[in-house]
Structure formats: C-alpha cells, structure tokens
Structure 1
Amino acid sequence: MKSIIKFLGIAFIAILSFVSCDNNPSLQKYYVDSKENNAFISVDLPANILQLKDENVSEDVKNTLETIKKVNFLALQITETNEELYTSEKVKVNAILKNPKYKQLMRMNMGKGSVSVNYLGEEDAIDEIVIFGSDASKGFAVVRVIGENMNPSDIMKIAQEIKMDGDSEQLKQLGGLFSSLK
C-alpha cells in the first residue's frame, strides 16, 4: 500500500512538472538573458521617475500613472561585427511576440524600420505593453511597460503629461544610449 501511494505521489509530481513547464520562450526570460550579454544595452526605469508635467491633471490620469510599476528598455545597436547577432535576436523577439498571449494593438512599417505595439492582459486591463522597434541600419529596441490593469487609452493620455526625473541615474544611462546611436 505504501509503495502505491509513493508511486502515485511521484507520478503526480512528474505530471505536474510536465504540465506546468511552458516551453515557449517568454519576453521576461529573453530580457534577463540579454541583459547578461554585453552587446545589449538595458535600462530598468522604476515608476517613481515618471512624474506629471502639470499637477492640475485629472484624477484618472493620476490613477493611471499609479498602475505603471516599471519600464524595461533593451536595445541592440547594429555594428559591423554583430549583423548576424542582430538578425538572429530580431527573429527571437518576433517569435516571442507571435505567441497568442501577446495581442497586437498596432503595427507600422516605415522604410527600413518597423514598430509594433503588443500587450498582455485584457483590452481594458492591460498588465504589460511591449513596444518593439527595429531599423535595418540602427538596430532594435524592446520597451516593456509593466503595470497592473492599465487602460491603453489612459496610457496614451498620460504619455503626453509625463516628464522624467532628470536627476535619475537610469535616465542618464538612457540619454547616453541615445547620444551614442549613429
């Protein structure tokens, strides 16, 4: 009897581990793995550096700002020595964003470049917004806006009302990144 219970317990744990493992790569895992690669530039911006330009904005805008937890920025700039890396990494990001859990809000193609905006969650309660932009001559960037129950129309409204805390070390890193681009 004990051996049957032991066998059932082991079988249950084995089945549970197989069912719970998701073999699809996640953007979170990709981000963490890429941060360790010196070819990438990554900046994590906490929500507290996002401030409103005008304190006389509606409560809706203030509440929406509070739904944003952090912003992750990951970029790979094309150089003469990493064109193959750029191509393979761009394919990886596109494959991740093709997962049905990422719903597309919009996509734009502009000459050598493109931008897509995807999200996780429900249309009126988004948990993550992913902006993926690439340019065949400059490289690509992935921006993750992580929050809880964010509303896309409210996010667009506050995008115009936000100013960054200019003394932030993370913001200085991001500014250095943009000034280094060709």
Structure 2
Amino acid sequence: MRLPVDFDGNEWFSIISLLIMFSLVLILPRRFPTIVSFVFLVIGSGTALFVDFHLGLPPVDLYDVNDLPLYEWFDLLNFLLYSPFAYVFLYLFDWWKPKGIRITWYVLAWSLAGVAYEWVSVTYFHLYNFSKGWQFGYSFAFYVASQAFTVWFYYMVKHCYNRTKNRAGPEWA
C-alpha cells in the first residue's frame, strides 16, 4: 500500500467523516450487547471490502478510490467508514422497529442518503473516480441490496443471540 500522492481534500474528507461517525457511535447510548455491536461494525466494512474487491479491481474495475488506481492507506480509512454507518443504520432500525412497508421505506431512505453522501464525496472531494463506468444509479441499487441484506442479517444475529446467550448475559429485547 502507498501513501497518498497529495494529501488534499479527499484525505481530509475521509478523516473528518470517520471522526464524526465514530464519535456518534461512541456517544449513542448502549443499545446492543458488546459482541453484537462488534459484529454490526464488522459487517459494514466487510461488505465494502467484498464489493470493492469484486467491482473496483480488475477484471471489472469500474471505479477508483482516492488518488490512484492502486490501494493507498487512506483507502483503508474509507472501508472503516462503512462500519459506523452500518452500526448507526442498525441502531436506528432497532430503536424505531419498522414493520412491513416501513422497512422498505427505511432502506430506501438510507440508500438515498448513501448516494447523497457519495455524491458529495465525488463532486467536492474526489474521493471516488467514476470515469471507468460506475454511476450513482449503480450505487443506489447496491445500497438497497446491501441494506436489505443488513436488515436480514440484523434479524439473524438477534435470533441467534437470544437463542444462545448465557442466562447471565445481557438481554436484547
């Protein structure tokens, strides 16, 4: 991995976004058992890494992140940024407890927010380079699919945790 070619807007945008989002995670009241919180943080970055390795590298290679087509250290920060986004997504989902069509609206609203964040990061900070064929419409479709998967994953984790937890372990209602 390399250091950035220029330490400019995209690196600062990554650092500030990461600080804001992880600060939010830390100041939110505890909602999940510690192990569940950790799993929810990992799913965000894991999904981002999986997709990037399949769509952002040859042979598909639809976009670049940051200054170079090769990986930089700051690309790692961008992958870490998906962790607090996933956590906050599931935190609010667990707090609101949407049912039926409201789950769809929740996923669509977060998908639009994801595309809006991505648009700002591309337009003003050049965090991504879409000149290889990627489009914001693809991002929206990806966010819908990935967040629908994340909701399903939330229910599976909750079910497994409640079924297998130690009697002395914390409850997750």
Q: TM-score w.r.t. structure 2 length?
A: 0.34
Structure with larger Rg: 1
Where is the strand percentage greater, Structure 1 or Structure 2?
A: 1
Where is the helix percentage greater, Structure 1 or Structure 2?
A: 2
Higher RCO (Cα < 8 Å, 6 or more apart):
2
